[in-house]
Structure 1
Amino acid sequence: MTGPVPGRALPRLEPVGRRRPDPAALVLVAHGGRAGSRESGERRRLTYWRMLPSAKDLRRAGPELGVFMLRYRHRGWNGADHDAQRDVEAMLAELRRRHPGVPIVLLGHSMGGRAVLRAAGADGVVAVCALAPWLDGSDPVAQLAGRSVLIAHGDRDCWTDPRQSLAYAVRAKAVTDRVARFEVLGDGHSMLRRSGDWASLVRRFVLGEIEIEPPDRDITNAMRRPAPAGLTTVLTGAVR
């Protein structure tokens, strides 16, 4: 990746809660955006606020975690520029500089889900969680080798295609056996109807992967099941 260009916006890290000088693990949270837009990635965007509760939930559940929200340079992915992916990679490098050797978990929604999946091969990343990721069949999976992967998608999603995340998960399973995908029945792209169930799944995955809590039984069982059965696991909870 090329260096910053003078006069242009830069991605930013925003700590969630009080910053820890010696975190046991790091979580980088990437929110959604648009396919194409050079507008700024300022925090007033609804996509930013949609992921903030999950980030705060992780910080409360794991006080030894360092949790950071990513602020993009631009609102859009912008074709071959892959701006969101480049921003994730830049901030991963910054986190490694600040906290060398500390394991990192990536969490993203929609465009952010695509960005974190693509950036998962970076040094220090141990796990990646993509919620309703925006995928189109062109995204690589080789970078997932050695990582744990969790994908969740609502069956009522009209913005990103659950069939694409299933096809991606099938391909990922050939690279790493630690892949699970959950179907969130009754919910759409905004993750509002079952917000507590989405948050619980993320929390159980992250805390289990960095060994703050024991591995979650439902996630572990889904990972052990062969494809495609383990990739169409229905997320239990309060279905409305």
Structure 2
Amino acid sequence: MVLILPDGEPKSERRGSVLTSGRSFAGVLPVGRALARAGREDGLLVHSVHYRVRGWNGEDAHLAADATWAVEEVVRRYGDVPVCLAGHGMGGRAALHAAGHPAVSSVLALAPWLPEDHTAATLEPVRQLAGRQVLMVHGTSDTRTDPELSYRLAARAKKSNRDTCRFEVHTDGHALRQYQDEVLALATDFVLGSLFTRSYARPVADALAAPPPLGLRMPLAAGFGRSMRH
């Protein structure tokens, strides 16, 4: 099971139903569609999460709470199935926060939004990632959320969870559109590998095995996915 978590806003009480269209879903819809196609023969189900409100809203962490609720709903409906949380932007942060739920086996965080305040950034939790497969992907030219922040978070997570890696998409922005085919191939390889215990493509396996900083600044090569071997 994959739960798709769209982007949001730092502060907003506007109803989350607005997210059903527009740019907030634009960053994750292609991922959801690619995963649904690639995992069809394996019976992979992909669901999108619709937040109650659009904002993270400080300590309330509404988007993370909604992600946790969605995982619990999966367990209620489908029973004991492994769940991958796949989020973009603020949804990436929600995925990382909600990873502590026992049903979550892996996390895909695309251009995760993180607080720019240094103190707040160092307080971002990482212990909940232990025992999960974690992949972060960030464009080096992202102007909405600093890619260096996701690197620092990945470095902290790697200390307690060796199954953490991070790829950098050279010159790409927040939406990761410039190399979308490569990003989708990377996401698909990681998610199917983590949920169905398949062998990862060599670059993913190398990134997971490499010590910091190598496995956390892995460049996403142009053409990734065109000739992957498992």
State the TM-score, normalized to the length of structure 2.
Answer: 0.90
CA RMSD of aligned residues (A): 1.3
1:130 is matched with which residue?
109
Gaps of 5+ in 1: 1-25
Post-superposition Cα deviations, 1:60-85, rounded to whole Å, max 9, x if no partner, equal: 00011010001001111111110100
Whole-angstrom distance in 1 between the partners of 2:191 and 2:11: 30
Q: State yes or no: 1:44 paired with 2:3.
A: no
Q: Where does structure 1 differ by over 3 angstroms across 4 or more consecutive aligned residues?
A: none
Whole-angstrom distance in 1 between the partners of 2:202 and 2:170: 20
1:61 is matched with which residue?
38
Task: Identify the structure with the greater helix proportion.
Answer: 2
Task: Select which of 162, 175, 180 maps to 2:165.
Answer: 180
What is the letter of the counterpart of residue 44 of structure 1? S
| Residue 40 of structure 1, CA deviation | 1.6
1:28 is matched with which residue?
3
Q: State yes or no: 1:194 paired with 2:179.
A: yes
Whole-angstrom distance in 2 between the partners of 1:100 and 1:238: 38
Higher deviation after alignment, 126-135 or 47-56: 47-56
Whole-angstrom distance in 1 between the partners of 2:153 and 2:220: 19
1:220 is matched with which residue?
205
Post-superposition Cα deviations, 1:97-127, rounded to whole Å, max 9, x if no partner, equal: 1111111111001100000001001011111
1:144 is matched with which residue?
129
What is the letter of the counterpart of residue 74 of structure 1? V
1:20 is matched with which residue?
none
Whole-angstrom distance in 1 between the partners of 2:97 and 2:32: 20
What is the letter of the counterpart of residue 94 of structure 1? E
Whole-angstrom distance in 2 between the partners of 1:110 and 1:93: 22
Post-superposition Cα deviations, 1:46-65, rounded to whole Å, max 9, x if no partner, equal: 11133111101100000110
The answer on whether the counterparts of 1:62 and 1:212 sit within 8 Å (CA) in structure 2 is no
2:214 is matched with which residue?
229
Secondary structure, counterpart of 1:65 in structure 2: coil
State the TM-score, normalized to the length of structure 1.
Answer: 0.86
Q: Percent identity?
A: 40
What is the letter of the counterpart of residue 112 of structure 1? G
